[in-house]
A and B are shown apart, each in its own frame.
Chain A
Amino acid sequence: KQEVTQIPAALSVPEGENLVLNCSFTDSAIYNLQWFRQDPGKGLTSLLLIQSSQREQTSGRLNASLDKSSGRSTLYIAASQPGDSATYLCAVIPYNAGNNRKLIWGLGTSLAVNP
């Protein structure tokens, strides 16, 4: 059974720092891995999607890497800003999902960037 773990559960940093969020998954047979952002009381915003054949994806100050063989992904946020404060969740689609592409989720990392 696929399980997704995120470390740390919470992180507080001063503005301007570069930071890394970690995600690990137990079964390397995945279609893809997605990183999402969730603001309080809001839904989920997709940040980056990495296909199983890819090693990394970049969008602005965000860079996500994927090491499928070791079951790990990292989300790198450069030059953090107070507006980056949110909960960051990673999720995978297991390869054995068949016709169902349901996401299996971590519990998230709650990030606070202090001015």
Chain B
Amino acid sequence: GAGVSQSPRYKVAKRGQDVALRCDPISGHVSLFWYQQALGQGPEFLTYFQNEAQLDKSGLPSDRFFAERPEGSVSTLKIQRTQQEDSAVYLCASSLAGRPNGNQPQHFGDGTRLSIL
């Protein structure tokens, strides 16, 4: 498809397990973002990639969270030793521009709903 694709759509894991969430951005999009959205809240920024470079990871809540985009296309968000507070929807967005630009919207996937039991 032409949009941002995320998989899986739903993930249930036991506390302490590791999980990996995948994002396929729109082809050719330079910028890729991960956001975390708790129930009833707006999305919160996690990390940002420009091609394969992770330029900002200031939003990652702990060192259990790790993201990569090794070839500048598909990105994976990994959460190690999951905790119940990690339960949220994880949204991926991509944007065509690679530099601060006023006219390039961010396009979002449908998200991965993560539930930690």
Chain A residues proximal to chain B, CB less than 8 Å? 4, 31-32, 34, 36, 41-46, 49, 51-53, 89, 91, 93, 97-108
Q: B109: nearest residue on chain A (CB-CB)? A: A43
Cβ proximity bits B47-60 to A, threshold 8 Å, 1 near / 0 not: 01010000110010
**A51 proximity list for chain B (CB < 8 A):** 102-103
Partner of A103, one of B6, B45, B111: B45
Residues of B with Cβ closer than 8 Å to A?
Answer: 4, 6, 31, 33, 35, 40-45, 48, 50, 55-56, 59, 91, 93, 95, 97, 99-103, 105-111, 113
Chain B residue contacts of A32, Cβ below 8 A? 102-103
- Measured in the bound complex, the distance between the Cα atoms of B102 and A53 in whole Å is 9
Q: Contact between B102 and A31 (Cβ–Cβ < 8 Å)?
A: yes
Interface centre among B40, B42, B59, B97, by most chain A C-beta atoms within 10 angstroms, is: B42
Minimum Cβ distance to chain A for residue B90 (Å): 10
Which of A32, A43, A91, A103 neighbours the largest number of chain B CB atoms within 10 Å of its CB?
A43
Report the minimal beta-carbon distance from A107 to chain B, rounded to whole angstroms.
5
- Say whether, besides A31-B101, A41-B113, A108-B42, A99 and B55 are in contact (CB < 8 Å): yes
Q: Are B108 and A101 in contact (CB under 8 A)?
A: no
Q: List 22 A-B contacts (CB under 8 A).
A: A4-B42, A41-B113, A44-B91, A45-B108, A46-B107, A51-B102, A51-B103, A91-B42, A91-B43, A99-B50, A99-B56, A99-B100, A101-B31, A101-B48, A101-B95, A101-B97, A101-B100, A101-B101, A102-B45, A103-B45, A105-B42, A105-B44
